[in-house]
Amino acid sequence: MAKKPRAAGKLPNDDIGQATRLALYRSQQVLRVAEQRAFDLFLQNLVKGTSHLSLGQEAIAAGFALAMQPGDLSFCTYRGHAHTLARGVPVEKVLGELMQRDNGLMRGKGGSMHLTSAEHGVMGSYAIIGAHLPIACGAAWRAQYRGDKDVSVCFFGDGTTNIGAFHEALNFAAIWKLPVVFVCENNLYMEYTPIGDVTAVEHPAADRASAYGLPRIIIDGNDADAVFRTAGAAFARARAGEGPSLIECMTYRHSGHSRADPAKYRPEGELERWKERDPIKIYRERLTQFGIADATIARIDAEVLAEVDAATEACKAAPMPTEEILFTDVYADGGWAWRN
């Protein structure tokens, strides 16, 4: 695991300020509670279509998002609820889209796999494996061309490293020295197949970094501090015009791949072992270690729960999308006419 050298005499993680620490905790807690709620709503048949939760992977979304600046751009996958929420998109907007209501981010036109909130820098969630890596390059190219200082951050899974677009994007970003950060969330599985069964190297992203002239970076994706620190370094590199980074974050998803998946393919005890390393559990301990009172934590938890509860009620009360929007925004004139 690549770690930044620690200043002598300091505690581990002492480089993370207290305000940042509280923000990281709150963010992870929002993701956790909102996604657990999404799962409950699914059981009540109120979340439609498919959905892919990031339970257990919250530290990555929270850590990267908190290290981003407002103009930075996120490119997510179908497993994008967490990354979308972490950029500050209201819970109601996300749950509304999952419930396919008119108050959703895209008013039900996109669905859970395509969460987009341009005003928050969430430039779409992409459901075809690998497609968004080149797209993130393009956004970074624009920043480079214009001299804008924003960074494009592209999240994807371990399984995504075996598709052609991964390779094309990494080479492209490297040769053009684009300000893009590729974040592989290695949760050990594709849908139901272990990544190790179908990949020629142990670390599907990091062990390929050298193929693009990039350093090999593997971090503990369940430690929000480590994520935040690594993100910051990569963003600084990008903004300095030094080019892309490829970061492999080791993590684990607590739930199945999608709502249809009971995840029976996992060896016994694996989930339990990883729950010992639950990012939120780790982070609660970290807060305590840094002297934050239980009452403070409890207050944050209560606030988050209230926010998610309110969002839930708003979504339940929200109307369904109506026929007019079916035919809007196919083309830029607002409509769908392919003929005169």
Ligand X SMILES: Cc1ncc(C[n+]2csc(CCOP(=O)(O)OP(=O)(O)O)c2C)c(N)n1
C-alpha–C-alpha distance, residues 26 and 283, integer Å? 10
> In this complex, which beta carbon is closest to other proteins, that of residue 62 or of residue 137?
137
Judged by CB under 8 A, the stretch of 6-14, 63-71, 166-174, 218-226 that binds a copy of itself is 166-174
Residue 234: CB partners within 8 Å, gap ≥ 6? 181, 245, 247
Q: How far is CA 16 from CA 232, 277, 279, 325, in A?
A: 11, 20, 16, 46
Q: Does 207 bind a copy of itself (CB under 8 A)?
A: yes
Q: Does 211 bind a copy of itself (CB under 8 A)?
A: yes
For the CB of residue 213, give the shortest distance to a copy of itself in the complex, in Å: 4
296 binds, among other proteins, a copy of itself, ligand X, none (CB under 5 to 8 A by kind): none
C-alpha–C-alpha distance, residues 147 and 220, integer Å? 33
Question: DSSP assignment of 21-35, as one string?
Answer: HHHHHHHHHHHHHHH
Q: Does 199 bind Mg ion (CB under 5 A)?
A: no
C-alpha–C-alpha distance, residues 129 and 109, integer Å? 20
> In this complex, which beta carbon is closest to Mg ion, that of residue 108 or of residue 204?
204
94 binds, among a copy of itself, other proteins, ligand X, none (CB under 5 to 8 A by kind): none
Q: What torsion, rounded to 10 degrees, do the Cα atoms 23, 25, 29, 30 define?
A: 10
For the CB of residue 176, give the shortest distance to other proteins in the complex, in Å: 8
Quick check: 123 and 153 in contact, CB under 8 A?
A: no
Stretch 187-206 residues interacting with a copy of itself (CB under 8 A)? 197-201
Q: Does 163 bind a copy of itself (CB under 8 A)?
A: yes
Burial class of residue 70 (count of CB atoms within 10 Å of its CB; 0-12, 13-18, 19+): exposed
Contact pick of 157, 179, 256, 279 for Mg ion (by CB under 5 A):
157
Quick check: 64 and 251 in contact, CB under 8 A?
A: no
Contact pick of 167, 239, 277, 316 for a copy of itself (by CB under 8 A):
167
Q: Does 128 bind a copy of itself (CB under 8 A)?
A: no
* Interface residue list for ligand X (CB under 6 A): 79, 127-129, 156-160, 185, 187, 189-191, 257
C-alpha–C-alpha distance, residues 22 and 29, integer Å? 11
Q: Which residues bind a copy of itself (CB under 8 A)?
A: 162-168, 170-171, 174-175, 197-201, 207-208, 210-214
